[in-house]
Structure 1
Amino acid sequence: MFQLHERLAADTHRLGKSGLCEIRLMNDSTWPWVILVPAVSDIREIYQLEPEQQIKLLQESSVLSKGMMEIFGGDKMNVAALGNMVPQLHLHHIVRFEGDPAWPGPVWGKQAPVPYGDQELANIIQRLQPVLQQLT
């Protein structure tokens, strides 16, 4: 039975569920940053998913990426499945802007996360609604 890894639960806000994934917002207001977590037990790598699940993950990731870029108007969409710290398969989707605090390098370890305040959280969730509706 699928259970969200405790670190992902602690570091993110739930946005909903797609056909395959839990949709989570990283609690770091520095970047628009959404994570897809396939709701499949004991999976660490994309190749461990069934072929149909791999296709579904790519489709959902593409819809999310396109939608986030349209909403936030970024310069680059970073999509990554690292899993070095959290052994549960999850895909990061981070809208990047030239001149952001980590540009052009990766966001990891550049600075401490800046958690969302209540109003900021409500605002970004509202902005993400059009793409979330496409996924759910």
Structure 2
Amino acid sequence: MINFELDERLAADTFPIADLPLSRALLMNDARYPWVILVPRHASISEVFELSADDQQQLWREATQLGDAMKTALGGDKVNIASLGNVVSQLHVHVVLRHHGDATWPAPVWGNGSPEPYDLDGQAQLRDQLLALIHGLNV
């Protein structure tokens, strides 16, 4: 985890929440969805297979436990977990809580519609909820 630097685009599009054992958790600045991005704190990693086997398992643990906690606490219908990297090559995993009838349901969130930035109160409220969920994880 030496020399970790967050990609400029991720930094511009998100708000920091907390650090998990492996990943930095970021809130995507799109109020249409509860959307967290997990970025393993490793320098120059773009693919999951570049992580050690232990770190691969840890990343999956963090993503699935966070997704479960978000679905339970925030009442979603489906959790989308994905690692794309076509625009931002730095390894990152999206954990997106979806609701039937949300802005792009059932299509993917990527490339559909325009993001709706959070106002300060909405961002702070969801960030605090997510922070509490993260502190309750057993990762």
Report if TM-score (shorter chain) is over 0.5: yes
Give the paired residue count: 136
Q: Match for residue 8 of structure 1?
A: 10
Deviation at 1:129, TM superposition (A): 3.0
SS of 1:86's partner is coil
Q: Provide structure 2 residue ranges, at least 5 long, that are not aligned to the other structure.
A: none
> What runs of 5+ residues in structure 1 fail to find an aligned partner?
none
State the distance in 2 between where 1:70 and 1:58 align: 18
Q: Which amino acid aligns with 1:115?
A: P
CA contact (8 A) 2:18 2:131 kept: no
CA deviation digits over 1:53-110, x for unaligned, max 9? 0111111111111111011111100001000000100000000111111111101111
Query: Which residue matches 1:133?
Result: 135
Residue range with higher mean Cα deviation, 51-60 or 126-135: 126-135
CA contact (8 A) 1:25 1:33 kept: yes
Name the CA distance, whole Å, in 1 between partners of 2:135 and 2:129: 11
2:47 to 31, 45, 48: 45
The runs of 4+ residues in structure 1 deviating greater than 6 Å are: none
Separation of aligned partners in 2, 1:57 and 1:134: 17
1:17 corresponds to: 19
Q: Does 1:73 align with 2:75?
A: yes
Q: Secondary structure at the match of 2:96?
A: strand
3-state SS of the aligned residue for 1:78? strand
TM-score (norm 2): 0.94
Partner of 2:36: 34
The more displaced of 90-99 and 123-132 is 123-132
1:110 aligns with 2:117: no
Q: Distance in 2 between matches of 1:98 and 1:31?
A: 12
The normalised TM-score by structure 1 is 0.96
User: Alpha carbon RMSD of aligned pairs, Å?
Assistant: 1.2
